[in-house]
């Protein structure tokens, strides 16, 4: 069977909890680094905390969501180059084989040959 099988050392809910905490921490750190609150005079106040600024966090999360989509596509390409088929891609991404085929059309050729490196790009969903 192409691709390597996954053996879970943690339960899915534990993985989800760690992922949520990591993303929340990363979003907070990026928001603090990328944004400076405005002071009363309209100038950036480098000393004011950004923590709790929900709009800054939302903006950063939108960037993270698009970055994750790009990383997902790159990981799927690497897995397919390593011999994974749509069933394995679907299981790893928690979707069906058909869902994987729709998400990454042409990534896994029907005849089993390794496709040329294509740098598949997910559609930009920034309007959602």
Which residues of the chain are under the pLDDT cut of 50? 1, 125, 127-128
Question: Rounded to two decimals, what is the model's pTM?
Answer: 0.69
Tell me the DSSP string of 36-82.
Answer: --B-TTSSB-TTS--TT-HHHHHHHHHHHHHHHHHHHHHHHHHHHHT
Can you give the residue ranges of every domain in the chain?
A: 12-103
How high is the pLDDT of residue 118?
52
How high is the pLDDT of residue 40?
62
Measured on CA atoms in the order 87, 93, 96, 102, is the torsion positive or negative?
Answer: negative
How high is the pLDDT of residue 35?
83
Compute the mean pLDDT over every residue in the chain, rounded to the nearest whole number.
82
């Amino acid at each position: 069977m192409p691709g390597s099988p996954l053996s879970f050392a943690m339960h899915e809910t534990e993985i989800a909890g760690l992922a949520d905490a990591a993303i929340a921490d990363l979003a907070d750190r990026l928001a603090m680094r990328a944004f400076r609150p405005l002071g009363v005079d309209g100038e950036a106040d480098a000393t004011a905390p950004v923590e709790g600024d929900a709009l800054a966090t939302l903006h950063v999360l939108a960037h993270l969501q698009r970055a994750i989509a790009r990383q997902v596509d790159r990981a799927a390409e690497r897995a397919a180059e390593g011999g994974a088929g749509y069933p394995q891609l679907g299981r790893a991404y928690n979707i069906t084989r058909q869902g994987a085929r729709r998400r990454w059309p042409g990534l896994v050729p029907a005849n089993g040959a390794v496709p040329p490196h294509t740098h598949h790009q997910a559609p930009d969903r920034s309007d959602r």
